[in-house]
Structures are given as C-alpha cells and as structure tokens.
Amino acid sequence: MGRFRRIVASYEKKHMSVSHEIKSQLAKLLATEDLVVEHRQIETAQFNVHTRVLTLPLWEKASNSVYDMLVGHEVGHALFTPDEDPPQNIPHSFVNIVEDARIEKLMKRKYMGLAKTFFNGYKELSDEDFFSLEGEDISKMSLADRVNLWFKIGNYIDVPIERGEEMDIINMIAETETFADVLIAAEILYKYCKDEMKKEKAPEEMQPQQSTQGGGDSTQEEGEEQQDNSGEEEKSDDNTSTGTEPNQSGGESFDEEPEVLTVDNLEENLRELISQNGQDNVYVELPKVNLNSVIAKNKDIHNVITSYFVMQQELSDKRKIEHKIPLFNVYEDVDAEFNKFKKSAQKEVNYLVKEFECRKAADSYSRSAVSRTGVLDCAKLHTYKYNEDLFKKVSVIPDGKNHGLVFILDWSGSMSYVLRDTCKQLFNLIWFCKKVSIPFEVYAFTNEWLRHSVDEKTGEYIPADIKPHYQKKEGLLSIDDNFSLMNILTSKISSKDLEYQLLNIWRIASYFSHSYGTYSIPDRLTLSGTPLNEALITLHQIIPSFQKENKLQKVQCIVLTDGEANQLTRHVEVKRHWESEPYLGTRRLNPDNTFIRDRKLGTTYKVEYEWHKFTDLLLTNLKDNFPSVNFIGIRILSSRDAKHFIRTYCGYESNENKEYRRIIGDWNKTKNFCIKNSGYDAYFGMSSSTLSQETEFDVDEGATKAKIKSAFAKSLKTKKLNKKVLGEFISLVA
C-alpha cells in the first residue's frame, strides 16, 4: 500500500482538485437526461438503473482525465445497462468484464470525442499501475484477467492472447451489442476459465502424496485410499447423470471458482483516490408546501384591519364624548397624505403605461406577418407583364403577450423605517397594472399572522390552530409553522375595494414610520422576522397556480425587500436512547458538504458560506424551473446602507473593480443603481429619501426667484430618476 500512497502524493502535486458539480453536469450531458447525481463517501461508483440515481465516490485525488473517464464509464451503465438481475450461474465479475467492454464501445460510438478521454484516463491508470501488474507475468494470468486488460489498457501494454479459442472469445466480446450478447459471451468466458483451472489442477493431483509420517503407515493409508477411490470410481460411472465430475486422480468433483484479480486490484487502488478525511455529502430538497395553509386570504386580512380601525375610531369617539372634547377622525392626517401621494403618482403611472404600450406595440409589430387576401389589387393591374403579385395584402399582427405580476413584500421588523417608501413604489406598480388590465397578487411574508386572533365582542385572544405546511421528513428544508404569506392586495376585487385596501396598507406602513401617533394597528399585522427564503420556496407552487388561473403567457415576480434572510435549517432524524422512535429535529446547513437538490430538474446547488448567497441559490433554482419568468428585486436603501449593499455583490472599492466604480457612480449621481450579478435577473437599489420626495413643482406664494429655481430643479431631478428606474423596469416586464 505504500506504493499507492506515493501515487496519491504524485496525483496531488500534478492535478488540481476537481469540481464535483461540473462533473455532475458532465454526467447529465453525456446521459442526455437529468440524472440525479450524488457525490458521497462511498468506495465504488454506483448507478441505480431503476431510480436513475448516479452515485459517485469523492475521488478528491483523481486527475480530471481519470475523473472524466470514470464518469463516462458510469454514464455508459446508465445509458446501456438494463434494469434486470444477471443470471446466478455466471459470477458477476465475468459479466462485468464483458459489459464494461460493451458500454465503453457504445459510449465512444455515441460520443466520438470521448475516445480520447478514455484513452488518456486509462493511460494514467496504466502508468500508475492501478491494475497491480508490476512483477507479474501477464501470460500466466487467466483469460478473464487478460480480457480485462485487453479492453482497458491493451493500448499501453502487451497482453498475450493465443490464436484460436482465446482470440475467438476476444472477438465475440468485442462484437457484443446487446446485454443478451454480453450474457452469452460472459458464460463462454467463465466456462473457458474454469476448464483452464481444471487442466492446471489435474497434473498436481496426479502426483503421489508424500506423507510426513512413517513409511508403513503411509503405505497402509495409501492402500486404503486406493481401495476407497476405486469404489468411488465404480459408483461415479453409474451416476454420470448427476452432473458431478470426478477429477483426474479419482478425487471429489472440482468446485473451485476462477478469480479475476485485475478487477479486484483496480477497485482497491481506485479507493486510494478517495479522500478518507472528507465528510459525506448531504443532499437536501425543497418541501412542497400547502398553499391553503400558507396563504392568508385577502378578505380575511382586510376584515381584521377594517374591524380594528372601526373599533379604534369608535373608542376614540366614546372617550371624546365622555370628556366633552370635539370629535375628530384619527386617520384624517394619514388619509390626506395618501390622497396627496396618489395624485402626485399619476404621472409616474402614466409614464409606465406609455412605456409598456410602446414596447408591447413594438413587439407585436416585430412579430407581424403580411398575407395575401386573394382579391385583385386594381392599382397593380397595369404591371401584369412584369409583376406576378397582383393581389391585395393585409398585415396580420398577433395579440400582445398576456402578462401577470406576482409581488412579494418584506414585512419584517427591519423594514419599519422604509416600509412606507417601499409601499409607494409598490402602489405605483399596482396602479399601473390596474390601468393596463394586468392581473396581480401581492403577498407579504410574516411570522405573526398565525400567532393569535382577537374576539371582536370580548376582545380576548384566541390561540391559533397552527398546522404544518407540509409533511415533514428527513432530507427536507425546514419551514416554520408560523410562516404565512398575507395576500394583502389582489386584482380580483373591484377598483373601489382596491383603493380602500391600498388605504389600509398605507395606514399600517405610515404607523411604522412613526409619523402618526393617533392610532395603532392590529397585533397580527405587526412586523416580524424575515422569512424571505420561505416565501421564495412557496413560489414553486404560486407561480404555476397563478399562471394557470389567469391563463397567462408571461409572469413576472417582483420582490420588494431591505435585505436577504438567514439560511434555513434541514430536517434530520435523531435516535435518542430514551425514545423508542427516532426524533425528527432540525440541523443547520453545513456549507462544507451540503447541496440543495432538485429532483425534477436533476440539478444540485452547493450551499455557500456567505449568508446572502442562500437567497441567491433559491432564486437560481426558481429561474431554472421557470426560465420565462423574470425575478426582479427592488431594495429601498438609506444612504448609510447603500455602500454596504453594493460591496456585498460587487466587492470592495479598488481601481481594478470597474463594476463597483460603475455602481457607486450611479448611486452618487442618481441615487439608484441596478445590479445584474445577483440571484435576481435585475436587482434595483433605490434611495428611500429620493422616493419620499414629491415630484410636483410646488412653491409658496411670493417665493423668490432662487427658491422657484431650486424647487423646479429638484422636481426635474426626481422625475428624471423615477423615469430612468421605471423605464428599466418596464424593459424587463414588457
């Protein structure tokens, strides 16, 4: 084994470490299907032809050539080895030798470029003596061993094969095309090797046995032996139909099985390429959630909000009457602010509509076609001598794409200071959707909605009946039972009801901005943690359901947030000595060895160390599942948070970092930017202070020229910013 430690050491010096995920993609491309490829701490590669799971060892010390060759070999089994058990009368090693030769031939035929991969890979194995041939006389090996060497490394060493029967078997194996051919050739090879062993064993058994005891005793024993054997010979002549075959010396039948040493040697030495110190990989999958338990209905949410606001106004009126204080509307100021914003936002909304319709018309025009009507065009009749096209034509313009938007709103505690500014941007998009008749749904993620409810008559808390959103089992990501998506806005309601619901959300968002102290909000609508990752997982069910329900051709998903969330945990079974059944607990994801697996696509995603990249991972998986959907992030930033956010995705400032300099330049100039290298298709960063500015050109009566000039410049700057951002947004959704 010391020699192979030196081999491994030379591999570590000569070859760079391989990327397991790149090799997984190679396997799937070669197999022309989305195989489930797993890299685990096992000794030999395995392929389950029934479940289509290819399990590869962690060949950490293998070169890329050897790794590619081994992957190509296993994919050959995936493509060409049938899902059936081999016969019991042929040892597996003999079937494996012939099947290896067949599948590698078929792989080279299917992918001609793969021949070089096999050539280089086996050359390395031959050079490093992975078949343990050093000091061995190959000519004295069994035909099975020589066949194995012939088809694997016969290009690099001299493998002696006798003419006649041995070469006929070689040719038969080379010509196998089906697994049935393999079984026939393997059986012939097995019988030949067994006959070889009998012939080699026969001369040894015919030699007189030398006893270590005295001569008299030896002669006596020999005579008794001959007498017994002669009797057995007579019996065997009468019982030839039993299938037992006497050996040449008159002993018992020959039952020793031939061994294939080169197969065992290769498997043993390939194990040396496996890292013994590494951790076994963990593969985790996304749970399929029950939308009925996750989504809080739009009607229920606004019933809670409306009843609370009405009750609050009634209590305020009651106290005012008791103390003989004039009555007033506790929501008067915040409602006035909403109406003012709504009026000022119409220009941005109209701009969105204009941009959308222009792009939609341009797209329709680019897909237009000209068709003949079959009616003569009288204006062309005079050209009949040199013009064959005398018919009228009509341009056929297909209908524009049927769009739909899904919004995910961050309802976490860190949003308190920017929630109203974020809602401003959201409301602009909602009014835009309403004007161009685009269906939409707005979901706010929270951990508070399910905690409790309040009896409207008694005011007592009613504990919530919390149930799991999915069937929990080992190997799934864990989602908190308290997680909910509040469907706060929807296009399914009338315009009047929508305006009232927008006002409800405006009041709540304004409450968190600490601008108003005359009212409070329902407990179930308070801000919570940040279950953003949970919300992204539910999109796997929400997007196809939304698309099917509204019969949409194109769906866009927009996430409005102030940051990413922490990684989720995974379910794991733990056996505790005081319990008879395993306990299903949770465990953190270890970035060293954890992969998120999508069985539907047959893809895996490596969990990274950076906490924000887990959100990017889930977004990448969503884009892989829904390639026609644009996932757009909108992040409202304060000035103190902008640079930190930019560094997260663009790295630190330096002369060589052109992307950072470009993004920070956009921020300093316009207070907005767009990042394209995150998990989102586009990640917009917007200044909260700029969004809160009014776009109306409004000055006091009697203002000086300087004040008028300043107000006008400020108005133009804000409009320019909004148009730039909104125009870029429309280019994605149109």
Residue 404 Cα to chain centre, angstroms:
25
- pLDDT mean values, one per 10 residues, the chain (734 residues): 47 46 58 67 72 74 81 85 82 92 93 88 91 90 93 93 92 94 94 87 56 43 47 45 44 68 88 71 92 94 94 89 85 93 86 77 51 61 62 52 88 89 89 90 93 64 78 93 95 94 95 80 91 96 94 90 87 87 90 87 85 91 93 86 87 84 87 88 82 49 56 49 57 62
Strand pairing class (603-606; 594-598): antiparallel
Q: Give yes or no for a contact between 152 and 267, defined as CB atoms under 8 angstroms apart.
A: no
Surface-to-core class of residue 375, CB atoms within 10 Å of its CB (0-12 exposed, 13-18 middle, 19+ buried): exposed
Long-range contacts of 623-629 (CB under 8 A, 24+ apart): 623/679, 623/681, 624/598, 625/540, 625/598, 625/600, 625/601, 626/543, 626/555, 628/554, 628/555, 629/543, 629/554, 629/555, 629/556, 629/557
| CA–CA distances in Å: residue 613 to residues 381, 522, 606, 616, 658 | 69, 34, 10, 5, 22
Instruction: Please state, in angstroms and as integers, the Cα–Cα distance from residue 285 to each residue in 473, 594, 601, 618, 625, following that order.
Output: 10, 11, 12, 11, 14
Q: CA 97, CA 110: separation in Å to the nearest integer?
A: 20
Both structure tokens of 273: 């390429």
The neighbouring-strand residues paired with 40 are: 57
Helix, strand, or coil (residue 128): coil
112-114-117 Cα angle (round to 5):
145
Whole-number pLDDT of residue 160: 93
**Token duo for residue 158:** 């001299």
Question: What are the distances in angstroms from CA 12 to CA 44, 63, 66, 593?
Answer: 20, 8, 13, 21
**Under a CB-based contact definition with an 8 Å cutoff, are residues 564 and 611 in contact?**
yes
* CA gap 304, 307 in Å, rounded: 5
Q: Which of 451, 519, 532, 463 is nearest to 305 (CA)?
A: 519
**Around Cβ 480, how many Cβ atoms within 10 Å?**
16
* Residue 392 amino acid letter: K
Cα 391 to Cα 371, 372, 503: the distances in Å are: 10, 6, 59
Distances (CA, A) of 94 to 97, 165, 249, 259, 297: 5, 17, 29, 9, 64
pTM: 0.69
Q: Tell me the two tokens of residue 98.
A: 């012939």
Residue type, 168: D
Residues pairing with 594 in the sheet: 282
Q: What is the pLDDT of residue 286?
A: 95
Phi and psi at residue 120, to the nearest 5°: -65, -40
Q: What is the pLDDT of residue 131?
A: 92
- Domains of the chain, CATH where assigned: 2-201+252-273 (no CATH), 291-330+401-637 (3.40.50)
* Sequence-ordered alpha helix ranges (H) in 324-463: 332-366, 419-435
DSSP β-ladder status, 682-687 and 630-637: parallel
- pLDDT number for residue 245: 47
| Residue-level pLDDT at 238 | 45
Q: How far is the C-alpha of 28 from the C-alpha of 624, rounded, in Å?
A: 15
105's CB contacts (< 8 A; 6+ apart) are: 174
E-assigned strand segments in 185-334: 282-285, 295-296
